[in-house]
Amino acid sequence: MKFDKSLLRTVLFSLGVVAFVIGVYQTIVEKDLGKNYWIFMISLACWLPLNYWRQQEARQAKEAEVAQKVAALNKPAKKNKKRR
């Protein structure tokens, strides 16, 4: 059985959003950001891996694109043969 990374991404994103909303609500109700700082850190801890994975995928896509361009440039040119 293969691990589904997209499910993990969905859960982390959802948990991050919920923690952020709860943090904002608690901060407004209690009027004290210091007490609710830990809730915002949970939200941040959920979003950090998502950003890291997104950057990693973008880097891999860029490397693949560069490799394709290099491969295209390294192909030998076709010689024009003249027919007689």
Distances in whole angstroms, Cα of residue 57 to Cα of each of 53, 54, 61: 6, 5, 6
Residue 76 within a domain: no
Residue-range definition of the domain harbouring residue 46: 5-67
pLDDT for residue 72: 77
Residue 58 within a domain: yes
Is the pLDDT at 80 greater than 80, yes or no?
Answer: no
* pTM of the entire predicted model: 0.69
Number of domains in the chain: 1
pLDDT-derived band of residue 71, with 50, 70 and 90 as boundaries? confident
For residue 50 the two structure tokens come to 């998502």
Residue 48 within a domain: yes
Residue 15 within a domain: yes
Separation of alpha carbons 15 and 47, rounded Å: 9
Residue 77 within a domain: no
Separation of alpha carbons 42 and 21, rounded Å: 11
- For residues 12-36, average pLDDT: 94
For residue 23 the two structure tokens come to 């943090």
Separation of alpha carbons 21 and 17, rounded Å: 6
Residues 26-48 pLDDT 10s: 999 999 989 999 999 999 999 99
